[in-house]
Amino acid sequence: MELIPAIDLMNGKCVRLFKGDFNKRKNFTKEPHEQAKFWESEGAKYIHIVDLDAAKTGEPTNDQSIKEIAKTIKIPIQIGGGIRSIERIEQLFSYGIDKVIMGTSAIENKELVKDLSNKFPGRIIIGIDAKEGKVSTRGWLKQSNILATDLVKEFSSFKIASFIVTDINTDGTLEGTNEEFIKSILEITDIPVIASGGVGSISDLLSLVKFENSGLFGVIVGKALYENKFKISEANNVLSSKRLIDFDFNNNYYA
């Protein structure tokens, strides 16, 4: 299970929202590419970027920051926010982005996502953001009646890289993850899952290790890292130690 640090972009700056509320945001002082470089030096193996402006309006306004991040670090980057066309995907790939995350467009145009996952197998991630188990779109501003689990079932037949599932009610709270929500997703798909929302301590990370064998590939962490609740290097050390403890001599996890 990988710890994946998040960079949320708004007006070219790093920000964090509280429960997805654009009116409850906190700005951070480091330039996005400096933040990404710092996390890479701390031991991050991936970087997760969300263009919040593009998610809200569909217009990419943070491309300069995205390009600078891609030029500055060597680890893979996954990015989401307002990605709704093949032209935009190809543009992001040209910047050096490894994988793109489709959220609103995945829900509103499933045939497009199917075509894109065939054209770029293993490079499309489906982002599913949910509140009370139901999907939100347009930068979390629009609430639907679609169940997250129904979408996961439907998209599991596509040639996608993974799902990112976010519980909006826990996002930015530092109060712990929604384990039941994560478990409900893992039970219905064989596609790797990345969880997001609520991690506030190393203990929160450790509580998710039990899902690693069920397909939990990683956990996205933002606010906890920005506010120095723990360091990536510390978390990686603890997670590595936990894996060693949980393996028996036959390389099997204890139940």
The phi, psi pair for 136, rounded to 5°, reads -110, 150
Which range of residues forms the domain containing residue 206?
Answer: 2-246
The answer to whether residue 255 is domain-embedded is: no
In the prediction, which pLDDT does 255 show? Answer: 34
CATH classification of the domain holding 237: 3.20.20.70
Average confidence (pLDDT) over 61-70: 96
The answer to whether residue 253 is domain-embedded is: no
Q: How confident is the model at residue 21 (pLDDT cuts 50, 70, 90)?
A: low
Residues with a catalytic annotation lie at 8, 129
Percentage, residues of the chain above pLDDT 90: 64
Average confidence (pLDDT) over 89-112: 91
The answer to whether residue 203 is domain-embedded is: yes
- Higher-confidence residue: 252 or 160? 160
Tell me the per-residue pLDDT of 119-145, one tens digit each, with 9 for 90 and over: 999 999 999 988 887 887 655 556 668
Distance (Å, rounded) from C-alpha 124 to C-alpha 113? Answer: 8
Q: How confident is the model at residue 254 (pLDDT cuts 50, 70, 90)?
A: very low
In the prediction, which pLDDT does 125 show? Answer: 97
pLDDT at 249 exceeding the cut of 50 = no
In the prediction, which pLDDT does 251 show? Answer: 47
Average confidence (pLDDT) over 237-246: 69
In the prediction, which pLDDT does 156 show? Answer: 95
Q: Which residue, among 135, 139, 130, has the nearest Cα to 25 in the 3D structure?
A: 139
Average confidence (pLDDT) over 104-109: 78
The answer to whether residue 232 is domain-embedded is: yes
Q: Which two tokens stand for residue 244?
A: 């060693």
Provide the 3-class DSSP secondary structure of residue 142.
Answer: strand
Average confidence (pLDDT) over 25-41: 90
Domain count, the chain: 1
Residues 6+ apart with CB under 8 A from 228: none
pLDDT at 205 exceeding the cut of 50 = yes
- Higher-confidence residue: 253 or 129? 129
Average confidence (pLDDT) over 210-224: 94
Chain centroid to CA 72: how far?
Answer: 20
In the prediction, which pLDDT does 176 show? Answer: 87
Percentage, residues of the chain above pLDDT 70: 88
The answer to whether residue 254 is domain-embedded is: no
The answer to whether residue 251 is domain-embedded is: no
The answer to whether residue 192 is domain-embedded is: yes
The answer to whether residue 195 is domain-embedded is: yes
In the prediction, which pLDDT does 246 show? Answer: 54
pLDDT at 244 exceeding the cut of 70 = no
Q: 34: exposed, middle or buried (C-beta count within 10 Å: 0-12, 13-18, 19+)?
A: middle
Distance (Å, rounded) from C-alpha 210 to C-alpha 214? Answer: 8
